[in-house]
Amino acid sequence: MIKAGFIGFGRMGMTHFSILNIHPSVQAVAVCDQSATMLKIAKKYLNVQTYTDYEKMLDECQLDCVIISTPGDSHAEIMKVCLQRGLHIFVEKPLAMTVLDGQSVIAELGARPLVNQVGYVNRFNEVFMEIKQLLARDLIGNVVNFSSEMYGATVLKDSKSGWRSNKKAGGGCMFEFASHCIDLVVYLFDKPDSVAGSVLQSIYSSEVEDLVSSTFIYKKGLSGSISVNWSDETFRKPVNIIKIFGTHGKIIADKHSFKIYLKKSDNLNGFDPGWNTRYITDFARSVRFYVRGNEFTRQLDYFVDCIEGRVSDNVACFSEGLKTDILMEEITKDAAMQAGRAIMASGGVAALGRTPERKSFWKKLFRSKEKKYA
């Protein structure tokens, strides 16, 4: 049996626990969280050891793997300690808060034969897995352009409570939301060579961005855009939409269906020339146990399969996660440059406050400049 410890027992931690708790190869041994209430409940009803100090948990429980679902700012430190103790790691996205932190985790991993996976769950969605295969077959020819969009109604008012509205703790639309959209691009097309025209914009939040957009440029003659907004109340739950244009066709996909336009028919998939629609009901695959979406189970079962040596490709490994961290940092830098240019173009800092809804954003920028030159 693989002995698993859970660090972080919020919404994702509980979901992961539920899924792995009844995996035939896994024994859920211990839970670590900051919430005394949560731990009392876990101890009483879940038959596990509970800890507030993860190192104590690692000392006392003979674990084989950990599931880390804490806020992003704690990931790097926890992962390094776990790696030093020879534990397989599944960590919720993003890998770390900075590229430097992410790199230090990968350096710590080194050549250790440990399974390392980041919770980029879109890589386990049946539609996106199918699209990846279609692209590998060059079905739509050379891919020239794409757009990857993600929308949801996660933040509809300013909130100062909780780590999700705290940038330093790993909150904000970029880390929490856009990371999935960016990872989907990395999964399908790999990392772009540069980013341009990036914008981080606040809609309701005063401390973090609610909207992220950017243009991705590849030397191989491919370009694309991302557009992410977690303050869009027209969406009942988060959606990803990806549109891919190629020289021989086009694909439009979301988590539940895709449309493909082809110039020629494709016998292997039974696609006719013109538009073809495929729904998830056509190729959905069941899982041993479903909680909140079968991709959540698929990604954790894959993690266990990797530990038990049944698969070895490790599709959501740390080095893949680092690519998204790098892109998030590049987008943030690019957006700051764009914002700086905008200030110059609008008459310098004298333009502050012209647009009321952006006031806090400009103010923040101004404050950070003040600090820099103080």
Partner 1 sequence: MLDRIIFGDNQFFGINHMSEDKAQALAERFKNLKAITDVIETAYDCGIRAFMFNTHERTADICEYLRRNESRLREIVLYPSMPYAHKYANAVAEKGIFGAIKEFIVTGSTAGDILEMLTKGGMTLFEQDTIKVMQILIDMEMKMFRGLNVKVVFLQNIVTDLLLGFRAKDYLTGFVSYVRSRYGVDAGFNTMNMPMLVDFLIECGIENPIVCSSINKAGYLMNPDKGAYEKSLKEKTFCAMAMSVLASGGIKPRDAIEYVCNQKAIKSIVFGASSRQHIIETKELIEKYS
Which is closer to partner 1, CB of 8 or CB of 246?
8
Instruction: Tell me the CB-side half-sphere exposure of residue 319, using CA atoms within 13 A.
Output: 10
Distance CA(87)–CA(232), nearest Å, equals 40
CB of 246 to partner 1, least distance (A): 22
Q: Could you tell me which residues come within 8 angstroms of residue 256 by beta carbon, excluding any fewer than 6 positions away?
A: 127, 279, 280
DSSP single-letter state for residue 221: T
Size of the site for partner 1 (CB under 8 A): 49
CB of 47 to partner 1, least distance (A): 8
Helix (H) or strand (E) holding 68: strand 65-68
- Out of 161, 312, 372, 373, name the contact with partner 1 by CB under 8 A: 161
DSSP single-letter state for residue 266: B
CB of 349 to partner 1, least distance (A): 33
3-state secondary structure of 93: coil
- Both tokens of 60, joined, read 């006392």
Interhelix angle for 318-345 vs 179-189, to 10°? 120
Site for partner 1 in 8-47 (CB under 8 A): 10-11, 14-15, 17-19, 21-22, 35-38, 40-41, 45-47
Examine residue 156 and tell whether it contacts partner 1 (CB under 8 A).
yes
Examine residue 284 and tell whether it contacts partner 1 (CB under 8 A).
yes
- Out of 77, 108, 126, 254, name the contact with partner 1 by CB under 8 A: 254
- Out of 114, 169, 196, 287, name the contact with partner 1 by CB under 8 A: 287
Distance CA(38)–CA(130), nearest Å, equals 39
Distance CA(224)–CA(245), nearest Å, equals 10
Which is closer to partner 1, CB of 53 or CB of 233?
233
Q: Which residues bind partner 1 (CB under 8 A)?
A: 10-11, 14-15, 17-19, 21-22, 35-38, 40-41, 45-47, 153-156, 159, 161-162, 164-165, 234, 236-237, 239, 241, 254-257, 279-282, 284, 286-292, 294
